[in-house]
A = this chain, B = another copy of it.
């Protein structure tokens, strides 16, 4: 691997949420995140084929407001926890700021909009992938 190697990610869609700022967003989905919509670009409609209400999906987001230079942080912003490498945290601030969210599909609207339960990403967050969750491995 060359240190200069890099890859280009193209958003497949965007999160629509009542969460408007990171100050509003819980650290984790189980801490009270609201339902949200995932609006896909029309070019990716075929990649949703057979997605149904009740499916459990992994949503990958690009945490566009993150600081990519952060290597250590106090988890959950709690300064009583020692500084910890970001690879042992869920901090959005990390070299490649990709969010991993497990959701349940609660409905489909048209060909490209997926309604999901608790999602802690703010309105306007780019979505970069969806995958089915693996029950057997507890995922993911």
Query: Quick one: CB contact mask for A116-140 with B, threshold 8 Å, 1 for yes?
Result: 0000000010101111101011111
What residues of chain A have their CB less than 8 Å away from a CB belonging to chain B? 1, 3, 5-14, 28-30, 41, 43-44, 46-51, 55, 57-58, 60, 62, 64, 71-72, 82-90, 94-96, 98, 100-102, 124, 126, 128-132, 134, 136-140
**Contact of A14 with B1 at beta-carbon distance under 8 Å, contacts A47-B86, A138-B139 already known:** yes
- Oligomer copy total: 2
Bound-complex Cα distance A95 to B72 (A): 31
Partner among B13, B60, B95, B139 whose Cβ is within 8 Å of the Cβ of A10: B95
Bound-complex Cα distance A83 to B43 (A): 18
Residue of B nearest to A56 (CB): B138
